[in-house]
Amino acid sequence: MIYLLKIALRNLLRNRRRSAMTGSAIGIGALALLVFGSFTTYIFAGLQTNLVQHIGHLTVFRNGYFLFGAGNPAAYAIDDYQKVMQLIAADPTVGPFVNVMTPTQSLVGIAGNFENGNDAAKTFLGVGIIPSDRDKMRQWNEFGVSRVAAPDDRLTDDDSSRGLVGGGLARILGLCAQMKLSNCVAPPAQRPTVVASATPDLGLADLAHRDLGSGASAQATDPEISLLAATAGGAPNVVDLRVSGVDPQGAKELDDNYVAMHFALAQQLVYGRGEHKATGIVLQLRRSEDLGKARAALNQLFQREHLDLEVRDYVELTPFYAQVVSLFGSIFLFMALIMGVIVLFAVVNTMTMNVMERTNEIGTIRAMGVRRGGIRRQFIAEGLVLGAVGATLGAILAVAVVVSVNAAGLTWWPPGQASPTPLQLDLFGRPLLLAGTWLALTVIATLAALIPANRAAKMSVVDALRHV
């Protein structure tokens, strides 16, 4: 075998330029696949990290919330959610996996800004969170693709009156000037006329303290908006929210509607003086690979405890993630297919020319007693060597490109994210990508050599010897 490969290498070196061109085609194929594969790995890791930092790995809902809860979150809230959290924390399987467990309250309503002569209102999608849990979740960086986020001191556990809004909502509510926001356009002085007034008969500001009383005192520096929502019982309720800052969202629709507030304030708004519940319990795991086990254990726990709860993971909650994974996977497969075809034709062409040029030599060694199989093996070995050398060079080049890109400190805006993140191609974390690409290209080159190799093997000895 070693002798065969040695001869194969020498034969390839006979026509260095041709072999170099074919090897380059294979190498460039390997380079393209490996760099793009590294990029997709990074994309997946970046997206996953972003999602897990914001919505955790798993969310526990009351049965039916996932399908119908968006219309009336309060109706599908989890009763006695604290007991459920205690059960989860005590579970011997799930407990050790959990990094952060925090309740959330989703809600919908109308946000209005009536301060300083403003008269703006807008529907909003709100979420109630526990600020310290949010900070801890934002530290999750299993794949090392995210900058470590500093604790967000705009929200604190001990001040439930403060919240954040999306950049779009801040603009619509006319908060740009008050909050001194850059890249934020103030609403025009002359607003378009509407047929019917959007302002409710009962002003939001008037309603603001109906349930809250005077618990939330305003700070002079932060603007205050009013949030109107229907309570679980169907009655309107209003709270004031001091906007501590903007939390830009990647999608405009969400950015124009997003309000994050203290969990207690969200509960206050939705449940008023009634029993305070939560629409979800978010679980952020230490490692993503434990997701399946944790989910199965949670389902067992809920079944055992006869709890009317279900678990959804971040992929189900964010179809965008699965779509991006599918899109990049398809592009990678398409690229792999194109590269495979290029390598196939390049090797077939090169080996066919080699066979043509060495026809007399084929006749000679057949006359000396080499079987047809021996001829076939010789040319297949040349395809193998060509593929292996080309793929190895491509892999080395890909490593150099990945190292250079990572060292360059480039940043980019991943899809669905509102801030730039460092571009870190991940090749070394995917040994299967490296080995698979190398192997696939080498196998394609070897198989491609089979066609001319068969042709060479089938030659008549006399005809081959006569060939000039």
Q: Which of 7, 315, 401, 451 binds other proteins (CB under 8 A)?
A: 7
Binding string, 407-446, against other proteins, x = CB under 8 A?
----------------------------------------
14: contact with other proteins by CB under 8 A: yes
> Where does this chain touch other proteins (CB under 8 A) — which range of 16-24, 239-247, 363-371, 419-427?
363-371
Binding of other proteins at residue 319 (CB under 8 A)?
no
> What does DSSP assign to residue 159?
B
Which residue in 319, 369, 409, 431 binds other proteins (CB under 8 A)? 369
CA nearest neighbour of 103 among 278, 286, 301, 314: 278
How many residues bind other proteins, per CB under 8 A? Answer: 22
Name residues contacting other proteins, limited to 256-295 (CB under 8 A).
none
Q: Min. distance of Cβ 376 from other proteins in angstroms?
A: 12
By C-beta, is 329 or 373 nearer to other proteins? 373
Place of tokens 């219309």: 71
Query: How many CB atoms sit inside 10 A of residue 1's CB?
Result: 7
Least gap, CB of 353 to other proteins (angstroms): 16
Chain mean position to CA 32: 21
Contact 444, 344 (CB under 8 A): yes
Q: Is 10 in the site for other proteins (CB under 8 A)?
A: yes
Cα–Cα nearest to 110, from 208, 189, 188, 40: 208
- DSSP for residue 381: H
Q: Which two tokens stand for residue 443?
A: 């196998």
Q: Which stretch binds other proteins (CB under 8 A): 104-112, 305-313, 355-363, 441-449?
A: 355-363
Beta bridge partner(s), residue 120: 113
Per CB under 8 A, 15 contacts other proteins: no
Element (H, E) at 111: strand 98-113
Q: Least distance to other proteins from the beta carbon of 462, Å?
A: 5
User: Mind spelling out the 3-state secondary structure of 246-303?
Assistant: ECCCCCHHHHCCEEEEEHHHHHHHHHCCCCCCECEEEEEECCHHHHHHHHHHHHHHHH
Alpha carbon separation from 405 to 27, 386, 412 (Å, rounded):
19, 28, 12
- Binding piece for other proteins, criterion CB under 8 A, among 93-101, 197-205, 369-377, 441-449: 369-377
Residue 312 near other proteins by CB under 8 A:
no
Among 15, 63, 156, 364, binds other proteins (CB under 8 A): 364
Strands, E, within 305-346: which ranges?
309-313
Q: 122 vs 366, which CB is nearer to other proteins?
A: 366
Nearer to other proteins, 162 or 358 (CB): 358
**Which of 184, 325, 370, 401: binder of other proteins (CB under 8 A)?**
370
Query: Residue 169 and residue 178: Cα distance in Å, rounded?
Result: 14
Closest CA to 361 of 280, 230, 456: 456
φ, ψ for residue 223, nearest 5 deg: -70, 155
Answer yes or no whether residue 356 interacts with other proteins by CB under 8 A.
Answer: no
Q: Which of 365, 439, 443, 450 binds other proteins (CB under 8 A)?
A: 365
Binding site for other proteins (CB under 8 A): 3, 7, 10-11, 13-14, 360-361, 363-373, 461-462, 465
